[in-house]
Amino acid sequence: MGSPKALLRTPDGRSFLGAIRDSLRSAGCAGELLVVTGIHHDAIASALREDARDPLPRLVRNPDPSRGQLSSLWTAMDIAVGSDTEALLVTLVDVPNIRPGTIRAVVDAWTRTRAPIVRPAIGAQHGHPVIFDRSVFVELRQAPLERGAKAVFGAHAGSVLDVPVDDPGCLMDVDTPEDYARLTQSPAE
């Protein structure tokens, strides 16, 4: 992509990481925001310090990001999960256009149901953020790296709660230069 995805810019000029942070805060997520980095840790840390809006997210480095996304989730769990942690709200840095209303809907659905996994959905497509209830933490820890969290989703296929939303941003995953061009050419919401 030419630079760390966390530092790419949305159409309104915010970094992907800044846009996600702002959406989480606007949605009322007041807990600790933990960002797991990899090889671009120093560049992301520097950019966050320059964009010194309080509170700054806590940065932790995945010691081996080549193991995949699940290893980053494990890194976060090592830091964030305590005996009083009821759930984790997880999103990817390459899904920067999630609306605060979508985040609130997912959190509200988990609060009402305590379903093991809660995620937004538009029809048959599902997106981010995802909430993992404490009841699946051990399974996440034991999931095979090559399958990632998909193994846990599969084990709970009948109890995953899809929350209907009208937010294409929860599905817009920026993985390629073409995806990024589509994002930057679409009107900001």
CA dihedral 164, 149, 65, 19 (to 10 degrees): 10
- 149 in Cβ contact with 140 (< 8 Å): yes
User: How far is the C-alpha of 18 from the C-alpha of 16, rounded, in Å?
Assistant: 5
Identify the CATH number of the domain in which residue 110 sits: 3.90.550.10
The separation between CA 102 and the C-alpha centre of its own chain, rounded to angstroms, equals 13
The residue range of the domain holding 165 is 5-185
pLDDT tens figures, 130-147:
999 999 999 999 999 999
| Model confidence, pTM | 0.91
- Overall number of domains in the chain: 1
pLDDT in tens, 73-88: 999 999 988 889 999 9
CA angle 133, 138, 144 (to 5 degrees): 115
Phi-psi region of 98 (alpha: psi -120 to 50; beta: other; left: phi over 0): beta
Q: For 89, phi and psi rounded to 5 degrees?
A: -100, 120
Identify the residue with better confidence: 31 or 60: 60
User: 2, 9 in Cβ contact below 8 A?
Assistant: no
